[in-house]
Chain A
Amino acid sequence: MRWRRPVFVGLMWALTPVAAAAEQAGVSVRDAWVREAPPGAAMMAGYMVLKNNTSRSQVLVAARSSGFGTVMIHRTVVKEGLTGMEHAPQIELLPNASLLFEPGGYHLMLLNPKRTLHAGDRVDIYLEFRGGLVLPVAYEVRR
């Protein structure tokens, strides 16, 4: 049963850094998910709840993932009745504050997925904070 080992090691590798990094950073992420997209879709979106557990501000400056061509922090905005997207170059998380990335608001814009993602799949995205901190987060693909 040699094949079992790499799977096990893979899981350990996958789960441990997330928890460790979150603790270290003082920023935790929960309910991280990506909406499953129609086949061939060039665009997807990622959502989550970010929480700053420290008593100083944390600034999210970028996100990246090897699973997509480009990842950008975006916000859906409504201006004069028109809905569109805005790039958010940075988002400040105030001390002990939570921030929702949810449909119709902040989201990670995921351009050009490298493969078709199905509900139940997992995709890793790295959140980069000012000061050099990088938080790896596992997003669950949901329909």
Chain B
Amino acid sequence: MMTSVVLAVMLGGVWLAATYRENGSRAILLPDQVMTLFPDPKPLTAFAFTDHENRVFDLSRLKGKWSFLFFGYTHCPDVCPTTLATLARAHEDIVKSTVGAEDVQFVFISVDPNRDTAGKLRQYVTYFDTSFLGVTGDNAELGNLAGQLGAAYQVAITPGVENYPVYHTAAVFLVDPRARFHAVFAPPIDAESISKRFKVLRELEGPKAT
């Protein structure tokens, strides 16, 4: 699958990031297995979703904040609740930092708009953290943003079957306050690993990124 290949290439981009930072002779965050940093963050282009309050969630909603994006669906018993609980702990940790979490948002993108209505998304995401946002859109828009992030998903909607399979990338994507795809965290994710790296990255990128 093409999109998976794209993701694999991006994960390889970790070494490029290291080279770039060294040449720039400025403070660097060394690459590791957890986070892949892009040397030249790619600006995202227009997309249109709806959030769990039925408000438009488009590119403008990604500006001015660091956004952690995670693709999933609410009928997901294992990986999605585990990841959201982990992200809630990472958020808590960022809240406790000196800079706080005013400039951070966590967005759960449902790839299953067929079952995940705004009401269901609200109930689901706010359970993990009241600040979390749930968004979804039609298949074209989901494919649009997923494609820009190199994220892949497959939904095998089966009429009359409640428990149809959904496949999605379990990585967590980080978009910077200029709405550029800045980094990706590889699964399985860990709260402290994410918050620790994010706090360092925000400090390094802060003045430039905002």
Contacts and interface: CB of A to CB of B under 8 A. Distances in A.
Interface stretch (B40-48, B119-127, B175-183, B202-210): B119-127
Nearest to B128: A38
How big is the A interface, by class? Answer: 20 to 34
A84 B166 contact: yes
Interface stretch (B13-21, B25-33, B74-82, B96-104): B74-82
A43 B80 CA distance: 11
A107 B78 contact: yes
Contacts of A81: 1, 3-4, 7-8, 152, 169
A137 B62 CA distance: 46
B112 to A, nearest CB: 12
Q: What's the dominant secondary structure at chain B's contact region?
A: mixed
Interface string B104-123: 00000000000000001001
Nearest to A70: B163
Nearest to B74: A41
Interface stretch (A17-25, A51-59, A72-80): A72-80
Interface residues of B, number: 34
Query: Is chain A's binding surface mostly helix, strand, loop or mixed?
Result: strand
Contacts of B163: 70, 111
B81 A83 contact: no
Interface in A29-72: 35, 37-45, 70
B120 A110 contact: no
A84 B167 contact: yes
B78 A82 contact: no
Given A82-B4, A84-B165, A42 B123 contact: no
B169 A83 contact: yes
Contacts of B3: 81
B78 A45 contact: yes
Interface string B152-195: 11100000001101111110000000000000000110000000
A85 B78 contact: yes
Interface string B61-94: 0000000000000111111011001000000000
Contacts of B167: 79, 82-84
Given A38-B128, A39-B123, A40-B120, A80 B78 contact: no
Interface of A: 35, 37-45, 70, 74, 76, 78-85, 103-104, 107, 109-111
The 4 closest A-B pairs by CB, nearest first: A38-B127, A84-B167, A81-B4, A43-B77
8 contacts: A35-B82, A38-B123, A43-B74, A43-B77, A82-B154, A84-B167, A103-B78, A103-B82
